[in-house]
Every structure is written in C-alpha cells, then in structure tokens.
C-alpha cells in the first residue's frame, strides 16, 4: 500500500520557505507535502535617514540585505551563510562572521574597533549594538523592517490534526514561542534550528530534535532524518 506523504509545515516568509524546500533532497521531497504557513511577515519600514550613506555594516538576516542599498564593495559582517551569500550577490564585500549573533559579537569584540552600522529588523536577538559599543566599536543601528506575527493557516491546523504527524521546522525562539502558543502539546514533529529555539517551545520541547548546526543545510538534514524515522516507524 502506498503511504500518504508527510505534511511539512513551511513556517518562514515566502522566499525563505522556497530556499528550505529546495535544500531538501529529491527523495525527501517525494515523501513530503509542503504546507505553507508563514508565522511571520516581513513589513518594510520607511527608509531611515542616512541609509544611502552607510559604510561597513552588520547583517544578521537576509531580509535586511534585501532592503539595504547595494553594497558597492563595502564590507559586511554577516550571520549565517545564507545571509552572507545574499550580501555578496548585492555587491557587499561580505564575510560570514559566525552562525549566530553570539559568534559574530565574539569575533568583532576580538577584532580592532571600527565604525559599523547594524541594519536589522524591529526584533533582533543578541543586543548587538550595546555589546559592541561597550567593546569600543562605533556602532549605530538602522531598523529597516518589522516582523509581524501571523496565525497558523487553516491548512496547517488541518495537517497538525491529521493522522500523519506533520514535521514543523522552527528557526527562531520568537517563532517557536508563537507556534507553541497556538498548538497543544504533541502537535507535530518539531525540528528546531538551535537549543534556544527548542527552549522557547516551553512544554512542547519534549522530544524535539535540534539541528547539528544553526544553518539551512543542517535543518534540511534534520528534516530528512525525521522523515525517514517517520516512514520507518
């Protein structure tokens, strides 16, 4: 008997969901049904004064890269390979300074103080500006977008209530807490990007699997691992 595909909830804004789906192997995708349910919407804000005159920058998300000026060869210190690649494609001399905000901060604290601008969203983890300023860097912040929470889609709720446990990848503590507030314990097979994401689930964090490293390739491998375990079980 042919087994019904496993629902995969795609919880990020559109283009990021597309990148996750593309990162999965063809064999994995054949076992899954994608269910779009972005838990967050990127809402651009009015460009702050002086945005076009920024020098070297910090990017902690690809969404900020999309709303920033072209790099024109200026330096960008980035969190994660996806953000780094997006910055390079936008003309920045981009280097990955860590997989998380914590590692980026540690690397820049260890470097010679410099003038930087953190281009970010309304919600940003790590207290980057305060900590780097305390370490001697001249740092300013420009908020380019808001991250507005969205409810689970009707299709996602149906998948979570269905007979086959859905796989739910979650990429940030804020999204994890938002998901947990909308669902009962035992809803779905959750794949967390990091221990901090798993912790934010509260009572839902039992049995949660965490990616080996906090990046897209590791999340894709974790989804495949959960899929294969579900098929075998």
Successive 10-residue mean pLDDT values, the chain, 233 residues: 84 90 96 96 94 93 94 95 94 94 92 92 87 92 96 96 95 95 86 95 90 94 96 81
| CATH 3.40.50.10090-classified regions of the chain | 6-39+150-232, 43-147
Residues 6+ apart with CB under 8 A from 3: 231
Class of domain 43-147 as given by CATH? alpha beta
pLDDT tens for each residue of 145-182: 999 999 999 999 999 999 999 999 999 999 999 999 99
CA-nearest of 82, 89, 41 to 68 is: 89
Provide DSSP, the chain.
-PPPPEEEEE-S-HHHHHHHHHHS-HHHHHTEEEEE--SEEEEEPPPPTTGGG--SEEES-HHHHHHSPP-TT-EEEESSHHHHHHHHHTT-EEEE--SSHHHHHHHHHHSPP-EEEEEEESS-SS-HHHHHHHTT-EEEEEEEEEEEE-PPPHHHHHHHHSSSPPEEEE-SHHHHHHHHHHS-TT-SEEEESSHHHHHHTGGGGTT-EE-SSSSHHHHHHHHHHHHHHHHH-
Return the percentage of the chain with pLDDT > 90, whole number.
80
CATH for 6-39+150-232 is 3.40.50.10090
The model's pTM: 0.89
């Amino acid at each position: 008997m042919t087994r019904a595909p496993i629902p995969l909830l795609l919880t990020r804004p559109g283009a990021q969901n597309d990148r996750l789906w593309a990162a999965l192997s063809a064999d994995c995708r054949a076992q899954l049904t994608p269910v779009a349910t972005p838990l967050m919407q990127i809402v651009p804000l009015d460009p702050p004064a002086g945005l076009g005159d920024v020098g070297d920058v910090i990017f902690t998300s690809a969404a900020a890269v999309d709303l920033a000026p072209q790099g024109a060869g200026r330096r960008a210190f980035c969190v994660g390979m996806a953000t780094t690649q997006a910055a390079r494609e936008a003309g920045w001399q981009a280097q990955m300074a860590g997989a998380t905000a914590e590692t980026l901060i540690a690397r820049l604290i260890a470097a010679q103080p410099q003038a930087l601008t953190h281009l970010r969203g309304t919600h940003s983890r790590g207290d980057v500006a305060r900590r780097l300023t305390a370490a001697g860097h001249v740092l300013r912040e420009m908020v380019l977008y808001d991250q507005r929470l969205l409810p689970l889609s009707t299709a996602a709720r149906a998948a979570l209530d269905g007979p086959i446990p859905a796989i739910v990848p979650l990429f940030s503590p804020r999204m994890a807490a938002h998901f947990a507030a909308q669902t009962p314990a035992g809803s779905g097979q959750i794949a967390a990007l990091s221990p901090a994401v798993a912790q934010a689930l509260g009572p839902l964090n039992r049995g949660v699997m965490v990616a080996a490293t906090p990046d897209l390739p590791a999340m894709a491998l974790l989804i495949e691992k959960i899929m294969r375990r579900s098929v075998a079980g």
